[in-house]
Amino acid sequence: MSGLGISAPRLLLRKLHQVMAAHGDAEQRLNEIVRLIANNMIAEVCSCYLRRAGDVLELYATEGLKKSSIHQTRLRLGEGLVGDIAARARPLNLSDAQSHPQFAYRPETGEEEYHSLLGTPILRGGRVIGVLVVQNRTRRTYTEEEVEALQTVAMVVAELVSSEQMVAATEFSDTAGNATLPHHVTGRVLAEGLAAGYALLHEPRIEVLHTISEDRAQELERLNSAVSALQSSVDKLLTATNTLFSDESKDIFEAYKMFAHDKGWLKKLQDAVKTGLTTEAAIKRVQDDTRARMKEITDPYLRERLSELDDLANRLYLHLDGRKQIDRRNLDKDTVVVARNMGAAELLDYDRRHLKAVILAEGTRSSHVAIVARALGVPVVGQCKDIGESVEQGDFILVDGEHGQVFLRPGDDVQEAFARSQGQRELRQAKYAALRDKPNISKDGIKLSLNINAGLLIDVDHFPELGADGIGLFRTELQFMVRSQMPKIDEQTELYSKVLDNLNGKPVIFRTLDVGGDKLLPYLKTKAEENPAMGWRAIRIGLDRPALLRSQLRAMVRAAAGRELSLMFPMIAEVSEFLEAKAILNKEIERASKKDSGAPTKVRVGTMIEVPSIIWQLDHLLREVDFISVGSNDLMQFFFAVDRGNPKISDRYDTLSPTLLTLLREIANKCAKADIPLSICGDIAGRPLEAMALLGLGYRNFSMSAETLGRVKEMVLSADIGKLESFVNKLCGARDHSVRDQLRAFARDHSIIV
Ligand code: PEP
Ligand code: MG
């Protein structure tokens, strides 16, 4: 098996093409293929294992091993070398396979004579559907070209195995290979609601329907024209991007452009096509290669660069034959977006009329994508680990964002049960709607303020239907995130005016831009940071780039001319930051008062409490602010040192831990003493049991996603706050991990609806 030059795989591919094109039994063709591979690669053995139901790999065809072992030899995923290749989805190249600790001897095959082994997974749509192996008697290490050649051949086998004929002939129809069966996935509720729609994969997947090309010259032309289309679209992106921080963002776009024109990358693609692959197969081959390299590289900078190449491969695929790209902004049917993870801005990119639900392999409840989804009323089920492997583009999906369930390709009975759940949910919503006009007063007569968190005009349009007291948090960054360019002062002014108009005198608190961390603006590309949540974000950007903060404050002041304005700053870590920001605001107020349009009649300025350090400066801060709003999402993140976006640790600490409750009580007590209005606008304000605990700690003003308002109101109306206060106060002293159970028992015993 001497090194294979470019001509050897070409010859093999041509022969394989003839086999593929021939009529006849699929299994016979598979036999013919393994014979051809063995001959062409000068191997004594070539075997093909396919994945069957129950994650078993079964020997389907072999040249060299005993024929009687066909359909007899089976290995579980992870068992033996074949099982290992399948489980890791990576090739294995061994000069002495039998001395490998994973080696599992199967006497029926007669493989004891063979020492060296090269195996590669057979992949289809990113899933392992089998393993292709060659073996030799001599102890030898296969060359890189040979590994690549076998990987290419594995693509051809994947095509054959997935052909209808093969599926029918071999009953090869398990969930791994042929995703047509119903499938159920359990995840976590990140945004409530129930919805149905058709799957749209957020990260495009390269589908290789045909591996071997009919006409190499023509294929090369296809590749080249796709490459030109890609290059010009990337160039356009670069010129169209009106960057705010031009130097920093330019680097990134330039690097991207450089890759699109990278000669090495293009040559690899062309070489693959020249060996006889279709363009799709060539892109896939080169992408698989990049991914394999990525797994081995630990340097974050290089990994980032390689991931750009990976992304470019996806884009190139979309440019093939002017393929109709899915226009996210104009979807034509009810859609469930399936992604590994995504940023809030990407979610906003989808057509809101048809975006019905989102399923994420990762994601946490306090990640910004979840917050935005809740604002939009789009259910999200996250932490569905293997969702990417189970779903196909266009699959019908039911998303139960109440219990964290996802039903792929559901049968009639599941669809009927789901429709019943939808009915019950509507009844509940009707019950909440009926509470709408009831005043927000607790059972023991204490007046409360229930507000919503908002950020888009649609929230404001629906405001009158909600029965909320006001908007306790207006996340202005969402407006910045939905645009491809920085909104001008006039545009910002218009938005803030509309919000104030629609609220018709009811209170609204604008928060200045809180970007950075996981909230990225397409035109504000910043350098990658090691710890973005603790990095250059929110007020830190505002103070370092005062022009940005100033323009936003100017827009707010203008919008509120002749009426009241309330605004707050995010991520304040010390009093001096607040004072600095307020000084910029004061200049804007002064400036406006000299103009004809005039200044607001009153301006109330507050801060978010999100960074623990400010709590130890509260005595000073409370002398400067008009109000305080607790952002418990970030506060919890920094208090427990637990990344709010990391599902691995998102359950490690409970929001109802006595330490966090004690901290929240401290804030409430200080504000009460200083007579400074206090509210809470993090996720916990919208969860009935948590909100009940907050009532006991002295919180009277809550701001939450509109979706949760009804439930919290129901709790409030049934709560006796006097009794709650003494109970929750006692709990603060507990040393438990969580006091959730105690609070639940209290609610049950006192008929509080949570
Ligand atoms: C918070 O941190 O609790 C908060 C309300 O702000 P955001 O979720 O937008 O970071
Ligand atoms: Mg925050």
Residues 428 and 440 in one domain: no
How many whole angstroms separate alpha carbon 588 and alpha carbon 507? 21
Ligand 1 closest atom vs CA 368: 8
Helices (H), 171-278: 216-240, 246-260, 263-274
Query: In the chain, how many domains are there?
Result: 4
Find, among 700, 708, 702, 752, the residue nearest to 727 by Cα.
Answer: 752
The rounded Å distance from CA 610 to ligand 1 centre is: 8
Residues 184 and 213 in one domain: no
How many whole angstroms separate alpha carbon 641 and alpha carbon 356? 34
Residues 197 and 216 in one domain: no
The rounded Å distance from CA 648 to ligand 1 centre is: 20
Residue 149: which H helix or E strand, with range? helix 144-161
How many whole angstroms separate alpha carbon 445 and alpha carbon 452? 22
Give tens-digit pLDDT for 86-115. Answer: 988 888 999 999 999 989 989 999 988 999
Q: Tell me if 130 sits within 8 A of 50, measured CB to CB.
A: yes
388: its two tokens = 């990417």
Please give the DSSP secondary-structure letter assigned to residue 686: G
pLDDT at 11 over 80: yes
**pLDDT: which is higher, 460 or 241:** 460
Using the 3D structure, point to which of 435, 467, 486 is the last residue of a domain. 435
Residue 421: which H helix or E strand, with range? helix 412-435
Q: First and final CA of the chain: distance in angstroms?
A: 71
How many whole angstroms separate alpha carbon 734 and alpha carbon 167? 61
Supply the pLDDT for residue 5. Answer: 41
Give the Å distances, CA to CA, from 285 to 156, 195, 278, 337: 12, 37, 10, 26
Whether 96 is in a domain gets the answer: yes
Using the 3D structure, point to which of 435, 460, 487 is the last residue of a domain. 435
- Secondary structure (H, E, C), 484-496: CCCCCHHHHHHHH
How many whole angstroms separate alpha carbon 519 and alpha carbon 368? 7
* CATH number of residue 233's parent domain: 1.10.274.10
Q: Is 610 in the pocket of ligand 1 (CB under 6 A)?
A: yes
Supply the pLDDT for residue 8. Answer: 60
Residues 241 and 139 in one domain: no
Residues 274 and 343 in one domain: no
How many whole angstroms separate alpha carbon 540 and alpha carbon 247? 19
Active site positions, annotated: 368, 681
Ligand 1 closest atom vs CA 629: 5
Q: Tell me if 40 sits within 8 A of 16, measured CB to CB.
A: no
Supply the pLDDT for residue 248. Answer: 42
In DSSP notation, 324-349 reads: ----TTS-SS-EEEEES---HHHHHT
Q: Per-residue pLDDT averaged across 106-126, rounded?
A: 89
Q: Per-residue pLDDT averaged across 349-355, rounded?
A: 90
Return the C-alpha torsion angle 439, 441, 442, 446, nearest 10.
180
Whether 587 is in a domain gets the answer: yes
pLDDT confidence band for 484 (50 / 70 / 90): low
How many whole angstroms separate alpha carbon 727 and alpha carbon 497? 44
The rounded Å distance from CA 577 to ligand 1 centre is: 18
How many whole angstroms separate alpha carbon 603 and alpha carbon 510? 11
Q: What percent of the chain has pLDDT over 70?
A: 91
* CATH number of residue 87's parent domain: 3.30.450.40
pLDDT confidence band for 524 (50 / 70 / 90): confident
Closest Cα to atom 8 of ligand 1: 633
Residues 417 and 440 in one domain: no
Using the 3D structure, point to which of 382, 414, 435 is the last residue of a domain. 435
- Expressed as residue numbers, the domain containing 637 is 436-749
Q: How many CB atoms lie within 10 A of CB 137?
A: 13
Whether 631 is in a domain gets the answer: yes
Q: Is 156 in the pocket of ligand 1 (CB under 6 A)?
A: no
Phi then psi for residue 565, to 5 deg, are: -125, 130
pLDDT confidence band for 254 (50 / 70 / 90): low
**Residue 696: CA count within 13 A, CB half-sphere:** 26
The rounded Å distance from CA 571 to ligand 2 centre is: 7
Whether 1 is in a domain gets the answer: no
Whether 344 is in a domain gets the answer: yes
Ligand 1 closest atom vs CA 633: 3
Residues 440 and 362 in one domain: no
pLDDT at 319 over 70: yes
Whether 2 is in a domain gets the answer: no
Q: Is 631 in the pocket of ligand 1 (CB under 6 A)?
A: yes
The rounded Å distance from CA 610 to ligand 2 centre is: 6
Whether 593 is in a domain gets the answer: yes
Residues 721 and 735 in one domain: yes
Ligand 1 closest atom vs CA 570: 6
pLDDT confidence band for 277 (50 / 70 / 90): very high
Residue 196: which H helix or E strand, with range? strand 194-201
pLDDT at 180 over 70: no
Q: Tell me if 124 sits within 8 A of 139, measured CB to CB.
A: no
The residue behind tokens 């960054």 is 477
Whether 275 is in a domain gets the answer: yes
Q: What percent of the chain has pLDDT over 90?
A: 56
How many whole angstroms separate alpha carbon 358 and alpha carbon 338? 6
pLDDT at 443 over 50: yes
Q: Tell me if 463 sits within 8 A of 452, measured CB to CB.
A: yes
How many whole angstroms separate alpha carbon 73 and alpha carbon 542? 65
Give tens-digit pLDDT for 355-383. Answer: 999 999 988 887 878 888 988 889 999 99
Q: Is 475 in the pocket of ligand 1 (CB under 6 A)?
A: yes
Residues 690 and 743 in one domain: yes
Supply the pLDDT for residue 286. Answer: 87
322: its two tokens = 């002017």
Give the Å distances, CA to CA, from 276 to 134, 211, 271: 22, 8, 9
The residue behind tokens 């404001």 is 460
Q: Is 637 in the pocket of ligand 1 (CB under 6 A)?
A: no
pLDDT at 246 over 50: no
Q: How many CB atoms lie within 10 A of CB 190?
A: 26
Give tens-digit pLDDT for 496-516. Answer: 999 999 999 999 999 999 988
Residues 104 and 59 in one domain: yes
pLDDT at 312 over 50: yes
Q: What is the largest CA-CA distance in the chain?
A: 95
Residue 560, classed as helix, strand or coil, is: coil
How many whole angstroms separate alpha carbon 547 and alpha carbon 555? 12
Find, among 85, 81, 120, the residue nearest to 98 by Cα.
Answer: 81
**What is the Rg, in whole angstroms, of the alpha carbon atoms belonging to the chain?**
30
* CATH number of residue 549's parent domain: 3.20.20.60
Residues 516 and 632 in one domain: yes
Residues 299 and 344 in one domain: no
Residue 678: which H helix or E strand, with range? strand 678-680
How many whole angstroms separate alpha carbon 46 and alpha carbon 61? 8
Supply the pLDDT for residue 66. Answer: 95
Supply the pLDDT for residue 322. Answer: 66
**Residue 194: CA count within 13 A, CB half-sphere:** 17
Give tens-digit pLDDT for 547-575. Answer: 999 999 999 999 999 999 999 999 999 99
